[in-house]
Chain A
Amino acid sequence: SAVISQKPSRDICQRGTSLTIQCQVDSQVTMMFWYRQQPGQSLTLIATANQGSEATYESGFVIDKFPISRPNLTFSTLTVSNMSPEDSSIYLCSVWGQGTDTQYFGPGTRLTVL
């Protein structure tokens, strides 16, 4: 299994500002994923972050809005830039368990934009 921590756990931000979310895994993993879960909704994949290469973004998500860093095999950050109230959501970091067919999720970052 993989143990994932995220910081911050929650934040309230003003419109137009940016927030960087950190994701730390207790083991080295090749693939890390960032999801968004809007209230009462399912999980939507934002991007896949591989170490040593640029993140791959899903349709509807762009690097300028959601820049991602992946400096090593245990850490990643997601920045939500120029925030608007529509960005209010839970942002979840996830990894694919090495040698398993299971995805593990971090506890999430609950973001509220005023």
Chain B
Amino acid sequence: GQQVMQIPQYQHVQEGEDFTTYCNSSTTLSNIQWYKQRPGGHPVFLIQLVKSGEVKKQKRLTFQFGEAKKNSSLHITATQTTDVGTYFCAAGNTPLVFGKGTRLSVIA
């Protein structure tokens, strides 16, 4: 099955700094999804990327799917304390296989 590696495992940033998490696979992915899990919460769907080289934006969040469809990134511009949580990438189909996640902490 498809497996995805995610880095970094942890990231501590000052409020206002940017943040990026990366997701990599050794195989070509049909699609990739990103989820956010707040502390004490459950994973919540953010976005899905399907096309090679696709870039999608949600306010301060920018999601990118690599040209070879083997990697993806999530970039947050000017982090806020509300961005705190763990960001997971996930790939595959019914069900998804999740990366280990990147835990983001934001220091005010």
Tally of B interface residues using CB under 8 Å: 20
The minimal Cβ–Cβ distance linking A45 to chain B, given in whole angstroms, is 6
Also in contact, A96 and B43, with CB within 8 A (given A42-B100, A42-B101)? no
Interface residues of A in 6-50 (CB under 8 A from B): 31, 33, 40-43, 45, 48
CB-CB under 8 A from B43, the residues of chain A are 43, 92, 105
Minimal Cβ-Cβ distance residue in A for B10:
A40
Residue contact A102 to B48, C-beta cutoff 8 Å = yes
Contacting B at CB under 8 A, from A69-86, are: none
Tell yes or no: B107 within 8 A of A by CB: no
Q: How large is the interface on A (under 10, 10 to 19, 20 to 34, 35 or more residues)?
A: 10 to 19
Taking a contact as CB atoms under 8 Å apart, the answer to whether B101 and A104 are in contact is no
Contact present for A42 and B42 (CB under 8 Å): no
The CA of A56 and the CA of B101, in the complex, are separated in Å by: 25
Q: Once the chains bind, are B31 and A42 in contact (CB under 8 Å)?
A: no
**Smallest Cβ distance from A10 to chain B, in angstroms?**
11
28 contacts between A and B (CB under 8 A): A31-B94, A31-B95, A33-B95, A42-B88, A42-B98, A42-B99, A42-B100, A43-B43, A45-B95, A45-B97, A48-B95, A92-B42, A92-B43, A96-B94, A101-B31, A101-B33, A101-B48, A101-B93, A102-B33, A102-B48, A103-B33, A103-B95, A104-B45, A105-B42, A105-B43, A107-B41, A107-B42, A108-B42
